[in-house]
Amino acid sequence: MSTPPLTQLSEDESLFRTTVLAFARERIGPRVHSMDQAAAIDKALIPELFQLGIMGIEIPEAYGGAGADMFSAILAIEAIAQVDPSISVLMDVQNTLVVNAVLNFGTEEIRQKYLPKLASSWIGSYALSEAGSGSDAFALRATAERREGGWSLTGRKLWITNAGESNLFIVFANVDLSKGYRGITAFLVERDAAGFSIGKKEDKLGIRASSTCELVFEDCFVPDSQVLGDVGKGYKIAIETLNEGRIGIGAQMLGLAQGAFDYSMKYMLEREQFGQKLASFQGMQFQYARVAMEIEAARLMVYNAARLKDAKKPFVKEAAMAKLFASEVAERTASLAIEFLGGVGFTKEYPAEKFFRDSKIGKIYEGTSNMQLQTIAKMLQTEYGG
């Protein structure tokens, strides 16, 4: 079957996206404000996300998942983000980072052990960042020392998404610091592992319902069977999964922009000043027409990157471009949405200010904007024979 071009969705894709968006509006929408204020997800939502089937979209049916593709995951991430980017990133990390890493690099034993759980009830986290290793991800100092039958992990991880709810953590540690990035290895650590604890929860500007916490490892034993991929090849897992994950962040920012735009357009079509609708003023028309154009351009880029990945074609440059551009569009759109709403847009009673706060993280996590530009530039040099 031929692949639909870019934003054109097949009948099944359209139905899937519509179903997820309806769920988000009905089940997540009424909780958005309270979750943001409490800086915590309503735990009653988590089973519903699994029941909807959006926590294991790419997990094969043999392991209890939906057996769909990355494009389907992107559609779900986008739809959820239109209502609440906090819940969107919960499922984004689950699908584009954790599930993909286990599926692509896990042994059959690991797949059988964890994929059914990740499809039905377990949430996962991706633990790479540390205090001294953000954009310079491979400067991590967490270590793994050899023990009989396994490894002992020591160190701290920071800014770990989903940490408050996760049952499984993909943890990157170095088995030999003298080897630099070639000592980095990925380990699967369960929440109740001895020597492992959840540390400080960050008090964030945006996506507040999404937990972001410190992880602490104090002589935490991990058996050999819990090593993900080959010892010393964790850098490969990190690179490949983050390349895919950036498409997910692009989808999250795309959904955020669309959500902010939808709300502000409805407001401008209802609000009257000087005897006419706000949307009728030419000065407003020029602004929201440009916003709509940029959102559509972001959608083209995000969808294209996802379709390239599913088609097993090169997508790294396109993923970086999609993530970078979508995050910029999200921030501009959310900022203008506040201005479109005027004074009420500056209050917490309306969703515009939350979309604006949530948008800022898009330029930071899973690779800052500067890192995306660097990736794009390197790819272009290669393409042009540099």
pLDDT digit of tens for each residue in the chain (386 aa)? 344 445 679 999 999 999 999 999 999 999 999 999 999 999 999 999 999 999 999 999 999 999 999 999 999 999 999 999 999 999 999 999 999 999 999 999 999 999 999 999 999 999 999 999 989 988 999 999 999 999 999 999 999 999 999 999 999 999 999 999 999 999 999 999 999 999 999 999 999 999 999 999 999 999 999 999 999 999 999 999 999 999 999 999 999 999 999 999 999 999 999 999 999 999 999 999 999 999 999 999 999 999 999 999 999 999 999 999 999 999 999 999 999 999 999 999 999 999 999 999 999 999 999 999 999 999 999 999 97
| Structure token digits, residue 163 | 């940490």
Q: Does domain 235-383 have CATH number 1.20.1440.60?
A: no
366 classed as catalytic:
yes
Token representation of residue 152: 């002992």
How far apart CA 57 and CA 106 sit, in angstroms, is 17
Radius of gyration of the chain (CA): 21
The one-character DSSP state at 55 is S
In this predicted structure, what is the pLDDT of residue 6? 53
**Whole-prediction pTM:** 0.96
Characterise 364 by phi-psi region: left (phi > 0), alpha (psi -120 to 50), beta (else).
alpha
Distance CA 189, CA 167 (A): 9
Domain 125-232 falls in which CATH fold? Butyryl-CoA Dehydrogenase, subunit A; domain 2 (2.40.110)
Q: Does residue 151 contact residue 221 with C-beta atoms inside 8 Å? A: yes
Point out the catalytic residue in the list 165, 294, 318, 366. 366
Q: Say if CB 179 and CB 232 are below 8 A apart.
A: yes
Residue 222 contacts residue 180 (beta carbons within 8 Å): no
**Token pair in block for residue 112:** 């059988």
Burial class of residue 206, CB neighbours in 10 A (0-12, 13-18, 19+): buried
d(CA 290, CA 226): 50
Structure tokens at 78: 């986008």
CA-based nearest residue to 191, from 282, 132, 246, 121? 121
Place of tokens 């359209």: 14
The residue extents of the domains of the chain are 11-122, 125-232, 235-383
Instruction: Give whole-number Cα distances, 131 to 69, 217, 385, in Å.
Output: 34, 14, 37
Pair 111, 69: CB distance under 8 Å: no
The CATH number given to 11-122 is 1.10.540.10
Which tokens sit at 355? 């979309």
Q: What is the pLDDT of residue 3?
A: 45
**Residue 349 neighbours by CB under 8 Å, 6+ apart:** none
Q: How far is CA 348 from the centre of its chain?
A: 25
Which residues face 245 on adjacent strands? none
